[in-house]
């Protein structure tokens, strides 16, 4: 199934996803540097998290539009639900880190905040893989001929193995 939310022919959700990923990953890297070196990048990481949350919520709107268009009772619908819910939890983990740091001088890093960030990054690795499974394996948002029940990519099975493809009738000419 093709994406329902496009800009100049390309899926908007897939265009927006790199923004929160890059911002949140860099926030964790800046905080790790702050913990292990004399570089104080904590204010930069704090604002990266704020921007990453905003970008993630924007990407989520377009992801939801696409998810709602996936036919029910398909593997793609189930994976999309786990992907979306996981990303909401990821945003909440980073929001928790922001809330823990907002009162600190210079948005200083606290251990609980950093742990939330690392958990969020770990969860993002899983939800990112699920997003790749949706797009690369199942063709969601890419092709109307997508195999929405293709087997898991880890099984090394062909994407169309066990998938029943029903031909689409050609439109009648008048």
In a domain, 69, yes or no: yes
- Among 16-20, 26-30, 165-169, 170-174, where is mean pLDDT lowest? 165-169
Bridge partners of 10, per DSSP, are 7
In a domain, 42, yes or no: yes
pLDDT for the residue 50: 97
| Spatial distance between the Cα atoms of 33 and 60, rounded to a whole number of angstroms | 29
pTM for this structure? 0.80
| Spatial distance between the Cα atoms of 140 and 36, rounded to a whole number of angstroms | 41
Quick: pLDDT tens for 20-61.
999 999 999 999 999 999 888 899 999 999 999 999 999 999
* Total of domains in the chain: 1
Task: Give the domain range for residue 35.
Answer: 6-142
In a domain, 27, yes or no: yes
| Spatial distance between the Cα atoms of 68 and 146, rounded to a whole number of angstroms | 16
Residue 106 has φ and ψ, to the nearest 5°, of 65, 20
In a domain, 74, yes or no: yes
For 44, residues 6+ apart whose C-beta sits below 8 A from its C-beta are 27, 30
121, 28 Cβ separation under 8 angstroms: yes
In a domain, 132, yes or no: yes
The token pair that represents 9 in the structure block: 């022919």
In a domain, 151, yes or no: no
In a domain, 83, yes or no: yes
In a domain, 56, yes or no: yes
97, 114 Cβ separation under 8 angstroms: yes
């Amino acid at each position: 199934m093709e994406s329902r939310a496009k800009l100049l022919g390309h899926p908007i959700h897939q265009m927006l996803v790199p923004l929160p990923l890059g911002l949140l990953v860099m926030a964790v890297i800046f905080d790790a540097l702050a913990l292990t070196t004399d570089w104080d990048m904590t204010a930069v990481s704090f604002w990266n998290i704020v921007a990453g949350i905003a970008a993630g919520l924007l990407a989520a709107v377009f992801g939801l539009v696409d998810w709602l268009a996936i036919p029910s009772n398909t593997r793609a619908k189930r994976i999309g639900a786990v992907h979306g819910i996981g990303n909401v939890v990821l945003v909440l983990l980073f929001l928790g880190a922001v809330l823990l740091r907002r009162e600190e001088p210079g948005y200083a890093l606290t251990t609980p905040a950093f742990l939330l960030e690392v958990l969020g990054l770990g969860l993002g690795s899983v939800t990112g893989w699920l997003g790749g499974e949706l797009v690369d394996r199942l063709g969601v948002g890419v092709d109307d001929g997508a195999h929405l029940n293709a087997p898991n990519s880890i099984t090394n099975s062909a994407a169309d193995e066990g998938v029943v493809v029903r031909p689409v009738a050609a439109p009648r000419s008048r």
